[in-house]
Amino acid sequence: MKFTRIKPFFVLLALVAYISLTNTSCTTDELTAETPFLIALTADSLSILSLEASRTTIKAWDTTAVAVRTTGKNLQYQWSSDEGTIVKAGADSVINFTACETCVGTRVITCRVSNEFGFVVDTIHVNVTSYFK
C-alpha cells in the first residue's frame, strides 16, 4: 500500500522535471520576417479610451451628448441604446441621446467601434427621470 501512495508523487516529480528541462526560453533570439506585421498590428490596433456623456442624468425629453475617444485607423462607429433615440451629431464619434417619458430609468447606450483589426465595445449609463417631477 505504501508503494502505491508514493508512486504518484514520483511520477508527478518526474513530469515536472521533464517539463522544466525541455521548456524553451520565452526570449526571441532574432527577428523574423513576420515581425514588421506584428509591429504594424500593434501600432494600428483599436481601443476605446473613453466613453463620456455631457450629463449622466437627464429629464425625459432632454438631450445629452455622448462622445467616444478611440485609437486606430479606418474606424466605423455603431451606436445603440436599450430605449430612447440616438441622433448623430456631426462626427460619427459623437451622438445626441434623447429619452421620452416612457423611458424613465437607467438607459444603456452602447458604442461599437470597428476596423480591419476587429472591434471593441463600451457602454455608458444615463439615468432618465420624469419630466413632471
- Identify the bridge partners of residue 121 per DSSP, sorted by sequence position: 112
Is residue 68 packed enough to be buried (19+ CB in 10 Å), middle (13-18) or exposed (0-12)? buried
Look up residue 23 and give its DSSP letter.
P
Q: What is the CATH number of the domain that holds 98?
A: 2.60.40.10
- What is the spatial distance between Cα 40 and Cα 43, in angstroms, rounded to a whole number? 5
Do residues 10 and 64 share a domain? no
The per-residue DSSP string of 97-124 comes to: EE--GGG-EEEEEEEEEEETTEEEEEEE
Q: Is residue 122 part of a domain?
A: yes
Q: Phi then psi for 35, rounded to 5 degrees?
A: -60, -45
Question: Is 4 strand, coil or helix?
Answer: helix
- Closest C-alpha among 42, 41, 86 to residue 68: 86
If residue 39 lies in a helix (H) or strand (E), which one and from where to where?
A: helix 35-43
Query: Which cell goes with 28?
Result: 526571441
Q: Is residue 38 part of a domain?
A: no
- pLDDT averages per 10-residue partition of the chain, 133 residues: 50 53 44 41 74 97 97 94 93 95 97 93 97 90
Number of domains in the chain: 2
Do residues 83 and 125 share a domain? yes
Question: 17: domain range?
Answer: 2-26
Q: Is residue 65 part of a domain?
A: yes
**pTM, whole model, 2 decimals?**
0.67
Q: Is residue 36 part of a domain?
A: no
Q: Is residue 37 part of a domain?
A: no
Q: What pLDDT is recorded for position 19?
A: 52
